[in-house]
Amino acid sequence: MQKIATFLWFDKEAKDAAEFYVSLFKNSRVTNVSHYPEGSPETPGSVMTVNFELDSQEYIALNAGPMFKFTEAISLFVNCDDQAEVDRLWSALTNNGGEESQCGWLKDRWGLSWQIIPTKMMSYVGGSDPEGSKRAMQAMLQMRKIDLATIESAYKGA
């Protein structure tokens, strides 16, 4: 068990969300599902928490009602190996009610914010050529889903 785990508050969809998330990433699994006991504030026997791992990182999802919603103030940042991984995750996470935002950010159907970013992007946006980095940044600022080839082209001035 890792010392610090991300804890996510859902209305009633913790298990569905956890199962969906683990389907997207290698080395991921649901590790435990607990249920509300008699005398609890929720329906006895309904899912209370779901412990799961995404690429070996621990998370806990809680079903506790609609009082709190996710905001963009926190997001899950995914370093993607290539454009194909960006495209796959973007499509899966925006499908069925997710929302695209700007610069590689999106909200999934439960309202959780994600940043789907190709690792190589930072070598352009934060590259050694200041003018190239400026062009790459300007290209990125026009995007919803990141298009690495366009950012690379902007960096190189092509």
Per-residue model confidence as pLDDT tens digits over 64-77: 999 999 999 999 99
The yes-or-no verdict on residue 1 having pLDDT over 80 is: no
Task: Report all structural domains of the chain as residue ranges with CATH numbers, in order of start.
Answer: 6-63 (3.30.720.100), 75-156 (3.10.180.10)
Average pLDDT over residues 29-44: 96
Q: Kindly report each contact of residues 18-23 with a partner whose C-beta sits within 8 Å and lies 24 or more positions away, as own/partner.
A: 18/50, 18/52, 18/59, 18/61, 21/52, 21/54, 21/59, 22/52, 22/53, 22/54
CA dist., res. 81 & res. 144, Å (int): 18
pLDDT at 39: 95
Average pLDDT over residues 12-38: 98
What does the mean pLDDT of the chain come to?
Answer: 97
Confidence class for position 2, pLDDT limits 50, 70, 90 = confident
Confidence class for position 54, pLDDT limits 50, 70, 90 = very high
Q: What is the largest CA-CA distance in the chain?
A: 66
Q: Which residues sit opposite 118 in a β-bridge?
A: 80
Sheet of 113-118: strands edge to edge? 75-80, 113-118, 105-107, 99-100
Average pLDDT over residues 97-116: 98
CA dist., res. 134 & res. 17, Å (int): 38
Average pLDDT over residues 20-36: 98
The yes-or-no verdict on residue 34 having pLDDT over 90 is: yes
**Percent of the chain predicted with pLDDT > 90:** 97
Average pLDDT over residues 36-49: 96
pLDDT at 73: 95
